[in-house]
Amino acid sequence: MSTSVPPDLTKMHIENCLKRVRGFFGGVFIVDTRKAKLVWEHQWYPQYYFLDSELPSKYLDSGSKQTLPDGSTRYDIVVGDKREPEAVIVFGDSNGNRAGLFKIVYKSMEKWFEEDEQVFVHPKDPYKRVDVLQSSRHIRVEVNGVEVANTYKPRLLFETNLPVRTYIPQTDCKLEFLVPSDLQTACPYKGVAEYYHVRTADVGADNVVWWYQNPTLECAAIKGYYAFYDEKVDIWVDGEKQARPKTHFV
């Protein structure tokens, strides 16, 4: 039986994207293709690249053209009275395996779609998996010696190459210690996270709790559950204190 081996994503890697990809700006689709590429410029997640034959020339401002030190060229996108500076990078013969491709800076588009589903933050990585599992482990959380959560009903979120995250029912958290924060972060796999500070008479810790009010369908099981930032709090699992992970991704 043959098995496929994932590529080495610590090096630049390019592969075909199997999905229809569309980028929307200024009331039009700047790009709409079934021939997109996924390019890993770093190991964490890919970016969309496109064939030069699909370059949206009518939306590029030729007067904004810049030649970059690596030989690539950059353009503004203009649609009507809307302009997005330095939004398109076209790669030439001096750009190695990216020659013949162009990139639209992800944040320059108002919306991105894979097939008919909107994609947030960055393209999804086909080598990443997210699983949420119900557990009966005993989880206890302290912030500077003060217990802030205690449960036997956690939900564990396993995400490729990241620490396991523990989501706790709200009723097993000391809600009186939680103060809403203005911070929000977004994840293409889970959705938009909202945060809490922990505040007691003697303890203050900022943005150490997050939750998803409306998570994506694939992570629906964490809806309304609270996660504590393992890197910044003390956690015991079945009575054993856990070492704090070094990574800082939620």
Q: What is the pLDDT of residues 57-87, one digit of tens each?
A: 999 999 999 999 999 999 999 999 999 999 9
Q: What is the pLDDT of residue 4?
A: 62
The ranges assigned to domains in the chain are: 13-119, 130-241
Residue pLDDT, tens place only, 132-149? 999 999 999 999 899 999
Q: Which among 129, 99, 120, 94 has a CA at the least distance from the CA of 39?
A: 99
Residue pLDDT, tens place only, 3-35? 567 788 888 999 999 999 999 999 999 999 999
Q: Do 129 and 104 meet the contact criterion of CB atoms below 8 Å apart? A: no
Supply the pTM of this predicted model.
0.84
Q: Does 183 have pLDDT greater than 70?
A: yes
Q: Does 1 have pLDDT greater than 50?
A: no
Taking 3-state DSSP, the helix, strand and coil percentages for the chain, each rounded to the nearest 5, stand at 10, 50, 40
Q: How many CA atoms lie within 13 A of 155 on its CB side?
A: 19
Lowest mean pLDDT across 20-24, 42-46, 191-195: 42-46
Q: Is 64 helix (H, G, I), strand (E, B) or coil?
A: strand
Confidence of residue 2 (pLDDT cuts 50, 70, 90): very low
Q: Does 211 have pLDDT greater than 90?
A: yes
- Fold annotation for 130-241: 2.170.150
Longest dimension (CA), the chain: 65
Question: What one-character DSSP code corresponds to residue 123?
Answer: P
Identical fold for domains 13-119 and 130-241, yes or no, is yes
| Other CB atoms within 10 A of residue 101 CB | 22
Alpha helix (H) residue ranges in 155-206: none
CATH number attached to the domain at 13-119: 2.170.150.40
Lowest mean pLDDT across 124-128, 155-159, 171-175: 124-128
Q: Does 248 have pLDDT greater than 90?
A: no
Q: What is the pLDDT of residue 249?
A: 55
* Whole-number average pLDDT of the chain: 93
Residue pLDDT, tens place only, 107-131? 999 999 999 999 999 999 999 999 9
Q: What is the side-by-side order of every strand in the sheet holding 204-211?
A: 130-134, 155-159, 165-168, 226-228, 204-211, 191-199, 178-187
Q: How many CA atoms lie within 13 A of 169 on its CB side?
A: 11
Confidence of residue 244 (pLDDT cuts 50, 70, 90): confident
3-state secondary structure labels for all residues of 231-248: CCCEEEECCEECCCCCCC
